[in-house]
Amino acid sequence: MYTSSVNVVYGGQEILDGDESLPYFPLERHTDAYSKTKAIAEQLVINANGRKNQRSGVLRTCALRPNGIFGEEEERHFSRLFAAAEMGLLFFKFSTSSKFQMVFVDNLVHAEVLAAQSLLSKERRASGRVYFITDGPNYNNFEFFEPLLDVMGLYKPRLVLPFWLIYFIAYVIEIVHSVVSPLCPFKPFLVRAEALKTGVTHVFSNNRAAVELKFDPPVPHPEGMQRVVEHYRVCC
């Protein structure tokens, strides 16, 4: 069972209520190694489904495709968000009407348990299948993070800049990073893949997971966000 990503089908094009019939986004057009390698790995896993082995029998595989994953102990996105806000870099926003989805970590783990149970069952309905896994509601990226900035007492962005300008800036940052990082390593504040994830609507349907895995997020999205907000209210 492979934890994949919606990035295997998304590369900057608008997607509304996308389902598992979407084709893989062309590997050569991905702007980041993460998305490209996720797509390669997912295809390897799915193509291995049904492979026979004399010792262990038949291999059964499936892949889950979450969008952004969040939870109380999340370190990748929240820490960077807070650091950028504290340095005064989060003074702008863009594409305020674009939508995306998140999945609370407990809900993703629940989906993985259901998928594993399906692979081990007599029906093996998940065998060779892929599933989008989200909390359900669609949010604008800046709207999603506002409660966290509030609880941390950090300044929320007010200036609205055009998406094309942000994408161009991200491209320049990537070029500078490729030239400078061998001599002076640093983490780029913004890259094209992140600009695309924030700036272009891409939302997906849980319908296949609901029907075939009986997936119904046990933690409603507002409850998951409240748990995260309370975590940072107490610890930070």
Which residues are catalytically annotated?
34
Residue 21 tokens, joined: 């019939």
Beta strand 52-53 pairing with 57-58: antiparallel
In this structure, are residues 186 and 218 in contact, taking their beta carbons and an 8 Å threshold? no
What 3-state DSSP class applies to 154?
coil
DSSP 8-class letter at 100: B
Residue 52 tokens, joined: 């026979």
Residue 46 tokens, joined: 């799915």
Burial class (CB in 10 A: 0-12, 13-18, 19+), 62: buried
